[in-house]
């Protein structure tokens, strides 16, 4: 699976790019749940991340694709679809994350638009996205793409409430 935009190539991760995923884990906001940050034992390690990359290969969906900038070839984050959890089980959920040094350049919107175009082409349906209420940058990206807040919120006084948004394709 490969998707192309004006500035990005979205493609499967390579095990040697685990260092980029590790950097993403290390940069995460402290309000992100501990299970999504590097723990006291240094997990996930580079070895863990390399293994996860190998295990995700060959899935018949976009998965979480590496975002490679065209020209430089630098991997700066990911974007793709994951299987929704909880009430969204079995439904596609859009996910994206970029290294802080490339925030504010419109790359998340560009990458997400390519993934949503792929969904429209292959299996038009409702796509979900869940975002913490404090994550205004991601909420702006979702609004630009046409996602609408559904009114469903999972309250979390420690990490911030999760807001569910949806887009019908």
Q: Which residues face 154 on adjacent strands?
A: 162
pLDDT in 10s for each residue of the chain, 169 residues: 799 999 999 999 999 999 999 999 999 988 888 888 899 899 999 999 999 888 865 454 558 899 999 989 999 999 999 887 777 777 889 999 999 999 999 999 999 999 999 999 988 789 999 999 999 999 999 999 999 999 989 888 888 889 889 999 8
First to last CA, the chain: 20
CATH of the domain at 137: 3.40.630.30
Q: What's the pTM?
A: 0.89
The dihedrals phi and psi of 110, each to the nearest 5 degrees, come to -60, -45
Q: How far is 136 from 149, CA to CA, in rounded Å?
A: 13
* Number of domains the chain contains: 1
Domain that holds residue 54: 3-168
Q: How far is 61 from 73, CA to CA, in rounded Å?
A: 23
Handedness of CA 38, 89, 141, 158 (dihedral sign): negative
Other Cβ atoms less than 10 A from the Cβ of 150: the count is: 11
């Amino acid at each position: 699976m490969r998707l192309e935009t004006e500035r990005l190539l979205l493609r499967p991760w390579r095990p040697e790019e685990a260092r980029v995923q590790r950097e993403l884990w290390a940069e995460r906001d402290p309000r992100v749940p501990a299970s999504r940050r590097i723990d006291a034992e240094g997990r996930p390690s580079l070895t863990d991340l390399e293994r996860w990359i190998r295990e995700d290969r060959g899935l018949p969906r976009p998965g979480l694709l590496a975002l490679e900038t065209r020209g430089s070839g630098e991997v700066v984050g990911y974007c793709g679809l994951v299987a929704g959890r909880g009430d969204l089980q079995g439904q596609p959920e859009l996910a994206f994350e970029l290294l802080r040094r490339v925030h504010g350049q419109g790359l998340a919107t560009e990458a997400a638009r390519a993934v949503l175009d792929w969904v429209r082409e292959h299996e038009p349906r409702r796509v979900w996205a869940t975002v913490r209420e404090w994550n205004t940058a991601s909420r702006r990206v979702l609004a630009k793409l046409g996602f609408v807040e559904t009114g469903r919120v999972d309250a979390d006084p420690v990490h911030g409430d999760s807001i569910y948004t949806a887009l019908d394709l």
